[in-house]
Every structure is written in C-alpha cells, then in structure tokens.
Chain A
Amino acid sequence: MQKKMMYSFPDDVLEHVFSFIQSDKDRNAVSAVCKLWYEIERWCRRKVFIGNCYAVSPRVVIKRFPEVRSIELKGKPHFADFNLVPDGWGGYVLPWIVEMAGAYPCLEEIRLKRMVVTDESLELIAKSFKNFKVLVLFSCEGFSTDGLAAIAAGCKNLRELDLRESEVDDLSGHWLTHFPETCTSLVSLNISCLGSDEVSFSALERLVGRCPNLKSLRLNRAVTLDKIANILRRAPQLVDFGTGNYASELPPDVLLNLAGAFSSCKELKSLSGFWDVVPAYLPALYSVCSRLTSLNLSYATIQNPEIIKLVSRCPSLQRLLVLDYIEDSGLEALASSCKDLQELRVFPSDPFGGEPHVSLTEQGLVTVSLGCPKLQSILYFCHRMTNAALVTIAQSCPNLTRFRLCIIEPKTADYLTLEPLDVGFGAIVEHCKDLRRLSLSGLLTDRVFEYIGTYAKKLEMLSVAFAGDSDLGLHHVLFGCESLRKLEIRDCPFGDKALLANAAKLETMRSLWMSSCTVSFGACKLLGQKMPRLNVEVIDETEPPDSRPESCPVEKFYIYRSVSGPRFDKPPFVWTMDEEGKIMH
C-alpha cells in the first residue's frame, strides 16, 4: 500500500533543504529517515569525510555518493607521528585518486592526513579534475617537488595548496615557476615544510603579487628576513602569515622597513614560523600584536624577557603555541594579558635532555587556567605535576574540550604527595563535561580509568601510556566511555580479558591501537574470527606471530572497523586475523 504523506515535498525542495545541512552527523541522520530521503540525500552529498581510509573502499563511497566535490581522508594511526608505526605500513592515496579520477570529474577538494602521496597521485589529480581548487596534505609523505610542479601547472583554479608538516623530497627549487602567469586564484599557500633551496623566490614574489585574494601565506625556512618585507608589501591583505627564517645580520634600516611592512597589513591576525629567530627583529611585529588572535612561536628559540614582551602586547590572543622557554613567569604574563585565550600548547625545547633546564612547572599551567577561563584546548609538556594543580585546572576551566598533558618522565607521581595522579585526572573528566580528547601521563593506577569510564561521557579520543595495573583499567574505559571513537594505548599491563569482554564495543569505534601491552596472539585471532566487521591487524617486525605460542603477547596491533574487509596492500610485517582463524598475508 503506498501512502502519500500529506506533507511530503517534491524531491528538489527536499534537496534544497538538505543543502543547508553540512555536518556529516546530521546528513547521516537525514539519510536514515526513509528510503526516499536516503536517495535524495546521497545524490546531493557534496562533502565526504573518511576518518580511516581502510574503513571503506573507494568504490563503495563512489557508489553511494556519486556527486561528491570534496573529500577528506585519513590514513595512518595517530601513533605513526611518534615512530611507532613502521615504514611501509600503508595509507596510500593512489587507489582513491584512480577511482575518483573516473567517477568525480568535478572534484574540487582533497584533504589528506597521514597518507602516502606519490608524484603519480599528484600528477593524476592535476590531470583529472578540471575545477580542482583545494589540496591539503597534512603530515603526508612520499612525494617530491615534481608532483608539486604538476599541481601548479595543471590546476588552473587552484585556491589552496597547504603542505603542512609533510615530508617532501627536494628535487628542484623551481616548481613554483610552474604556476602560470594566468594563475591569480590562490587564497592559501603553505609551503613551510619545504627544506632549503626548494623555493624560487622571484617566482614566489610574482605569484604573491598577482593573487589579490591571498589570505594565508606560510613561507619556509629558505626565505630570509630581508625578503619578507617585499612579500608583505605585495600582500597587505594577508590574514595569516608564516615567516620564513627570522635570523639575520642586516643593516638597521631593514628593521624599520620590516616594521613598516608589517604595519601595512591591517588584516593580519595570525603569525607563525620564526625559525632561527633573532630577538632584535621582534619589535618589527609590535604594530600587529594588538590584533593577533593566533601566534605560533613553537619553533622559535627565544626566551624571556622577549617572550613576555611579545605576549604582553597581544590582548586579543586566542591561540598560543610556544616552547617551554616561556617558563612559569611567561605564563603568568600570558594569564594577565590574554583573557580571551582558548588554546595553549607548550612544547618541550629539549624533550630528550633528561633534567629540566627551564623553569616551567605545573604552576604555570595553573596560573593560566586561573587567568583564562575561556580555555578549551591544552597541550602541555612538563616535568612535574600534582593532583592539587590538576584539580584547580579542572575547576577553573570547565569548558575544556581537549586536555593533553605530557609529563616527560613516564610514571611520575604527584611530586608533593608521591601519590598517583588518578584524582587529578579524575577531576578533569568530572568537571570538564564536554571533554572530547584526553591524553594521560604520570603515575596512574586502574582508578583513573574508573573515573574516566564514569565521567567522560563525551570523550572521543583517549591516549594512554605507561599507566594502569590490570585489565580492569581497560574495561572501565571500553565499558563506560559511550562516545569513544579512537583509543590508543602503549606500554600498559592490559591483556585479553577486557578486550574480549568488550569486543562489541570495538565496532562502535573507529580504531584501537595497542602496543607493548599484554594482549595475546590468541586473543587477536579470536577477535578476528568472531568479529567479521573488524579488521584485526597484528604488526610484528621480527617473525610471523603464529611462529610462537598463542599465549604470547603481540608487539603491536591495530583494530579498526571496516565495511570493506581486509586490505590488500599490507606490508610483510602486518598480519590480518581473518574469519577462518587463518592469518592472512
């Protein structure tokens, strides 16, 4: 029986309504209402985000969403950033580009994170998508300046080329000259990751000069201080600027010229770069400081009082990235000057040094939390912490959505009470009800996981290292964290029990990484057998895991949900546990 609803709209009206719905979550909800809405929605979805490139095959995506204009893909597990994932693991984008070249001729945007991108992929992009506009390669590798030349030459309407923190093979410095003189469309160019001599400066200057809509420009280290003024004068409309090399021994009038160039940029709100910075040139920035909302000094080896002088002039600052040279005193200045601060990241200047050589302690973070109640995101490397400090931070900043604390020495206790930091982190999850991301460190028992499981209901990503006493810890997290999507664990005494008891939970998550724990090969096999919608991949670089007893712990494994079954591009050291209990290779 066909019911025609009194209030149903024609398809194109529905489509128009859906076009206002941007978030993936909402779009997914819309498509679940009924078959009709599913059909309409899938034909008008323009943007797809795939958090794990192995969760689904390109063909399946293309089949469901035939008219996509923008795609975002992520490849390697997050711990690849810290060299825990061996080279050659995977995350190749080429198969995606090949499929999309045929299916999505109107594709405009590709955003990739932690993927392997070859020159061949870049050449294919340049050739296949006539209206290509945006290429963001975040933390990618595998390509050279040849591939960039192809993009520059082939993409006539390129708006964004952002290579942030990628690893690029330097073959020739002249790829920039491949942007045709007719290219005037650039809005954003980030080449900060390129090594020396990879940029033809005159080509860069001309390119900047002819792109009136250029809002974001991040230069690389090869661009020296004396050249920055020229660039800025050609692009006074810049909103975001990454300086190149900020060191020099130039005549004093250069400083004046530079100051003038900066002050002519009335829209400038965000600064970064500052490699090799020489403090004498910092005053050139003073004219823009009052407008700055974002400042990244995390590669600048300046110390106090220069940092304090700079930061005190930035009352509008919302985002600060800085090295631990800022010390507690600098954080105090920050707390009193920057009341709008939302994000703070303090990186270690000497992470492997052992003994702290800067006076940055838990006190600095406490001071900032007390002075800046709008804080939402914290990343903090330090050498010591107390429960009391964490409780204060938690109570002062209830709006925290991301809290990552790294106490450099593993298993460091509260230095005053010598107790574990369970109570401190417990306070964080209890008071910060919107917490989405948490990284733990210090001495922690199973108790902290009990707190997390009890309170952290919105937590989506959890990173754990050198913590916990038993499987109970892992169980608390898997059982209690309802919103958990990504869990990564290293060097914890978590074994089979909690994992197997919560196997169904894994299908509700994007991925689980565990390394140097005590999960056995047998448990991995069992999971692979019983959970067909999970890919259970064991990583072992020494020998096949089944050459040892099943009770032996695996070195590393990565479990992720997938609708497309095991992948075919595995390297020799990755083994998939499949449904028949075989290990596939």
Chain B
Amino acid sequence: MANVLGAHDLNFKETELCLGLPGGVGGNEVDSSQKTTGKRSFSETVYLKLNLQAKETGMDLNKNLENGSKEKPVSTKDPAKPLAKAQVVGWPPVRSYRKNVMAGNKNTGEENEKASSAVFVKVSMDGAPYLRKVDLKMYKSYQELSDALAKMFSSFTMGNYGSQGMIDFMNESKLMDLLNSSDYMPTYEDEDGDWMLVGDVPWQMFVDSCKRLRIMKGSEAIGLAPKAMEKCKSRG
C-alpha cells in the first residue's frame, strides 16, 4: 500500500511530533503535569482518583503497572477503604441496554415494583459547555460516582467523603472545611425539587431521590449548606 505521506516525508523534528511512550514523557515537553500531557494510559484511567489512597498507604500503584507487573492490584478487604480497582469506562464491553436490564433482574420477586430500568440523570457542571448523562444504578457508592464524574469533568475534584461515603452534616465546621477545600461541589435536585449537597443521605436513598446533578462552584454550594443541615436534622 503506497503511503501518501511516506516515511521520508515525516521529518519529526519539523513537525515537532512527540513520540513519547505511554507512562513516560516525550523529550520536548516542558510541563509534565498530568493535565497538559493529557495522558490517558490504562494505568491512569483506572487509578486516576486513587493516587490519594496510594499516597496514604504508601503504595505506588502506577509504578506496579508500568513495570509490566502481572500482579493484580491489591484489593483491600477493609470496608473502610474503597477497593483499589476502580471501574474502567466502557470495559468490559457490555452495552448499556444489557446493563440496565441486568440491573433490573437483580430485583426479581418484587412483583409490583416499577421497571428497574437505569436511573439516568443529567449532569451539568458550571462553566462546562455540555451536559452529560449518568446512570446512577451503575455505581454502588458515592466514591464510585465521584470517580466517574471526575473522569467526565476532569478539571474538578470532589472532596473527601469519609469512611461511610457520606458527608457529616451534623458537624458544621467539618462541612465548611469541605466546601472551602474543593473547587467544585456536586449538588443534586431531589424529588421535592430542592437542591441538595450530594452525600447527605445514604447512597440508595440518594439514587431513589436524585433527579438531576449539578456540579457547582464550592462558593455557590455554600449557600445550600444551611438547608442541607436542616433537612438532615429533621430526618433525625
């Protein structure tokens, strides 16, 4: 097959193409911060959000993969720590249609319940010019949702959700620290039409009542805090 551009035509110096290997940085890159290289090698998609945990536990999960280690990542059985392996987007390649149906199958025996199709909610982020949709049934915890949102809107990070995955609303100063620490805060519209801070109720309750997600600037989300605490108190 004749090649139009031909190997000879490609003077790599002229076109300044970077042929860096994954996991490493090409020779002519100055800024090697994760954002500008935009690398998305397998090791990074999986461990994007877990660098925090890795640092805490002193493990360097990325290094393991780059060394071509065939070991499976360590999955902690400690329920207080999330599993070391996050879900890779679109893998294994199971179609959403099938995922929705299978999710519904897990609820057999409840005859009169409404169809357990996926719970798709729109997600918007302040400043981002596009909307995404997520299926809340795909996740089992706030941490998983956080990881997925982080991948979709990778310029935002969510705060530390604590061991139960919920925000401690009873502690006002803790809450304020959280809001002041992150750039963005996920909020959601519940079945009453109120905008609440994500993480105020147990996960399943959240899935059942969430109608929409909006990732707000932390400074704006602070305005929701008093209402959130009030609702939390009234629930007892």
Chain A residues near B (Cβ < 8 Å)? 79, 81-84, 86-88, 139, 165, 167, 193, 195-197, 221-222, 247, 249, 275-276, 298-299, 301, 347-349, 351-352, 354, 381, 406, 408-411, 413, 418, 439, 443, 463, 465-466, 478-479, 490-491, 493, 495-497, 500-505, 515-516, 518, 520, 522-523, 526, 530-531, 541-542, 548-555, 571-573
Contacts and interface: CB of A to CB of B under 8 A. Distances in A.
Contact of A516 (B26, B40, B152): B40
B41 A408 contact: no
A501 B42 contact: no
B17 A83 contact: no
Contacts, number: 183
14 contacts: A84-B89, A87-B133, A197-B114, A221-B115, A298-B98, A491-B42, A501-B7, A504-B4, A518-B21, A518-B41, A530-B5, A541-B152, A542-B153, A548-B38
Interface in B125-155: 128-133, 152-155
A539 B31 CA distance: 22
A276 B105 contact: yes
Nearest to A501: B3
Interface of A (DSSP majority class): loop
Nearest to B2: A504
Contacts of A352: 87, 92
Nearest to B122: A87
B94 A347 contact: yes
B85 interface: yes
Given A516-B40, A552-B37, A553-B39, A82 B97 contact: no
A217 B28 CA distance: 61
- What 5 A-B pairs are tightest by C-beta distance, nearest first? A551-B18, A82-B90, A196-B115, A516-B40, A572-B129
Given A518-B20, A551-B29, A275 B38 contact: no
B5 A503 contact: yes
The residue in B95, B109, B115 that gathers the most chain A C-beta atoms within 10 A of its C-beta is B115
Contacts of B72: 409
Given A275-B105, A522-B15, A552-B18, A347 B98 contact: yes
B163 interface: no
Interface of B: 1-7, 10, 15-22, 26, 28-29, 36-42, 45, 70, 72, 75, 83, 85, 87-99, 101-102, 104-105, 108-109, 111, 114-115, 117, 128-133, 152-155
Contacts of A550: 15-18
Contacts of A503: 3-5
A497 B19 contact: yes
Contacts of B3: 501-504
B18 A520 contact: yes
Given A276-B108, A410-B42, A500 B92 contact: no
Contacts of A502: 1, 3
Nearest to A518: B22
A221 B97 CA distance: 14
Contacts of B105: 275-276, 299, 301
B96 A83 contact: yes
Nearest to B19: A495
Given A348-B92, A503-B4, A553-B37, A522 B16 contact: yes
Given A247-B111, A500-B10, A505-B1, A520 B17 contact: yes
B96 A81 contact: yes
